[in-house]
Amino acid sequence: MCGINGVWLKDKVIDKHKFDIMRDTLIHRGPDGAGTIMAENEQLAFGHRRLAFMDLSDTGVQPMKSADSQIIITVNGEIYNYPELKNILEKAGHKFISGSDSEVIIHGWKEWGEKLPEKLNGMYAFALWDNKQKLLFLARDRFGIKPLYYYYNDNEFAFASELKALVEWNINIKDIDFSSMADFFTYRYVPSPKTIYKNVYKLPPAHCAIIKNVNTISLQEYYKLSDNIKLDKNLDIYRYVDDLLNNSVKKHMQSEVSVGAFLSGGYDSSALVSYLFRNNISVNTFSIGFKDWKQSEHQYAKIVAEKFNMPFSCKILDGESYGLLEKLVYHYDEPIADISIIPTYEVSKLAAEKNKAVISGEGADELFAGYTWHYENMNLQKQQGVLNVFYAKNNRAFSLEAYSRAMAMGHLRLPELKELFKPDLHKYLPDDSDWFYRKHFKKEFSGLNSFRYLDIKCFMGELVLTKIDRASMANSLEVRVPFLENSLSENLFSLNEKVLYRNGHQKYLLKKIIEPYMPEEILNRKKQGFVGPDSYYFNKNWYAGIIETSVLISDEILQENVLDSWLKTEEYWKLWKFAIMEYWYRRWMKN
């Protein structure tokens, strides 16, 4: 995987030395090499930090130009269907000079133009300059596996894989958007297209952007999930999904360097390892455990590794790992309060000692309906005998507001936010705290699919995939996610709810597929997230120390009495969000 950046100035030449410093803030994303291309009388620059997997020769170096110099690209990603696209393009007369999957983007643009992202199967964020049309084109993959940030004004447009590169280029963009800070306390992240800074944006997943004249930008959504795909009624759905999964895993193992696997001992990562075993592929597996915790996942991961005869590495965490937060807020750029940010960073660090890439199980819970709220939704449907529980009386589980509570881990809406923030900041607080969920709520979908869609667009796309990207790339490790392959994800999302949930079992379909290969201890495990014990996060003295020295309090942003009341009532998930924001604020606004 890689880091990309670019700048387009309207009226002056780019300082290349300054630009290369901007580029090299992303060295952790690409330690294998660096490149810069200047164009448009040195008013346009593309940068690239390389983490090499395919075509390790110099022909794969980026940024990359077309033979006629019409197109320049800088790409962060892997295009898994590039052999098929390359074959189509060669038949159409295109000539390739490398074995790089990125070169497909150059020729694909010439052939399909703005329709190009619709053709791509992979994880990516890329920028493309078309010298003939004098336009800049940005695109991000369907689910937001890879990040892309940008800002613009009357005189310049800049983009990068991470916010820190934009800050390096122009420190004046560090102007906090307090509505985004409020969103963070609601969602645990800042929702797209917003960022923590005013006038700086995330390109949303499944979107492309066309930029002309530096400051004229048009966003387009090029892909939408649908639950209307019609499958043959006589189809053996178990064999069909099994084949799709198997093919996806094989695609994601394409590399000229070895690929390992994260392994938690849950259905998702264990399923991926079982497919590797069935294809006679042996890989290093990596897990994290927690000291003195009976439910620690490393125990189950070891069972799976031994079952499939895979090399196994594990690290055990304790309370001392809190010290990592100061480092993590640098790598995450924006405050992200997922409770697994520390174990995800640590397992990435462990894996990077032996591999440059791993496969991981992100996306399976969303697509196979594996979350607690899916279980509650389906049980409620069964009890009430209705197809859509949104409108059922006494719906204790699945109103949009209940979904918000389930996702919040310390629920804060407008009344609580007004208590938390100083009065002079109240004008920035969103009137509708759940605006992002409401934006992505699809009434036309069935009850379960409405919430699976919210999970994909909000929880997975904004929190889960951001967390895994930053934690892994901080360690120069690429994480590949086979469950999010195009055809697999499309077909899984279209399946009837009864296939996903049966006889009181979540992930029934996945369980039936892996049942012949998996140990009973794994098949009968209760669902558990990639987290530590509650006691790991419920450290009252630690939170008290952060409140006592809080810069958010001394800078007149948050109310000390409210934080003290959280401490007294042991509102630890709210305090976790406060702690993350406090560490972020100290690192990015005071240093």
Per-residue burial over 317-353, b = 16 or more CB atoms within 10 Å of its CB, e = otherwise: beeebeebbeebbebbbbbbbbbbbbbbbbbbbbbbe
Question: Rounded to 5 degrees, what are φ and ψ at 44?
Answer: -130, 135
Q: Which two tokens stand for residue 275?
A: 């497919």
- Where residue 188 falls (left for φ over 0; alpha for ψ -120 to 50; beta otherwise) is left
Q: Which two tokens stand for residue 488?
A: 């697999």
CA-CA distance, 330 to 168, in Å (whole number)?
A: 13
Q: Which burial class, exposed, middle or buried, applies to 465 when counting CB atoms under 10 A from its CB (0-12, 13-18, 19+)?
A: buried
- Where residue 539 falls (left for φ over 0; alpha for ψ -120 to 50; beta otherwise) is beta
CA-CA distance, 343 to 316, in Å (whole number)?
A: 9
CA-CA distance, 9 to 473, in Å (whole number)?
A: 29
208 pairs with which residues across the strands? Answer: 139, 220
Q: How far is CA 484 from CA 87, 124, 129, 569, in A?
A: 24, 12, 28, 40
- The residue among 340, 328, 344, 386 whose CA lies nearest residue 472 is 344
Cis peptide before 63 (omega within 30 of 0): yes
CA-CA distance, 343 to 95, in Å (whole number)?
A: 45
Place of tokens 């992202």: 117
CA-CA distance, 141 to 244, in Å (whole number)?
A: 20
Handedness of CA 68, 70, 76, 77 (dihedral sign): negative
- The residue among 310, 51, 6 whose CA lies nearest residue 166 is 6
Beta-strand relationship, 478-480 and 216-221: unpaired
Edge-to-edge order in the sheet of strand 33-39: 33-39, 44-50, 3-9, 156-160, 149-152, 200-202
Residue 433 CB: number of other CB atoms within 10 A? Answer: 24
Query: Which residues are catalytic, by number?
Result: 2
Which residues lie closer than 8 Å to 574 by C-beta, 6 or more apart?
Answer: 185, 410, 412, 566
Query: Angle at which helices 341-352 and 465-473 pack, to 10 degrees?
Result: 40
Query: What is the radius of gyration, based on Cα positions, of the chain?
Result: 24
- The residue among 143, 170, 175 whose CA lies nearest residue 159 is 170
Query: Angle at which helices 540-548 and 560-568 pack, to 10 degrees?
Result: 170
